[in-house]
Structure 1
Amino acid sequence: MSNEPEPKKPKVKLTPSRSWLRATSGAESGKETVQWLDKVTERMAFPGEHEEAFFTRRRDLKLGVGLDESGNLVQAVETPKK
């Protein structure tokens, strides 16, 4: 029983979630989804030219871990300071 006014309740506008919108939208059919996934999978299967250059440079600089010429996993070895 105080003299202070009761705080106003914020107005909240409820909107559907994006996942619900995507699930109920006709914009993306099952066939389109499969085609998109196929395209992404195909593109991700092989490294791009920038990735190749990046890792070639790292190998030349003897940085990190990777594969040797035979495909065996190798670890970086700290070279003695001269």
Structure 2
Amino acid sequence: MNFKIMKKKFYRVRTQYIFEGVFDVVAESKEDARQKVLQNCGLVMGGSIHSTLPDDEINWAFDKHPNKRIDRITKVQKYPSE
């Protein structure tokens, strides 16, 4: 029997991981609260949610597992490490 060997192809899968939650912030206005979160709160891959604000001015609640969204899949010519 003659079996045709299929060569695998490489695909780039654009993916977003979306963590949803809330920050409770002590602030003078909505805009002040927005700026505090933008400037002082974050998340680093492999880390955790963090803030540079004092503990008595900030609290948060976020899901531990993100929502996953696949945006686009494209064929690539060659695997990047080759």
Largest Rg, 1 or 2: 1
- Larger % of helix: which? 1
- Larger % of strand: which? 2
| Normalised-by-shorter TM-score class | under 0.3
TM-score w.r.t. length of structure 1: 0.20
TM-score w.r.t. length of structure 2: 0.20
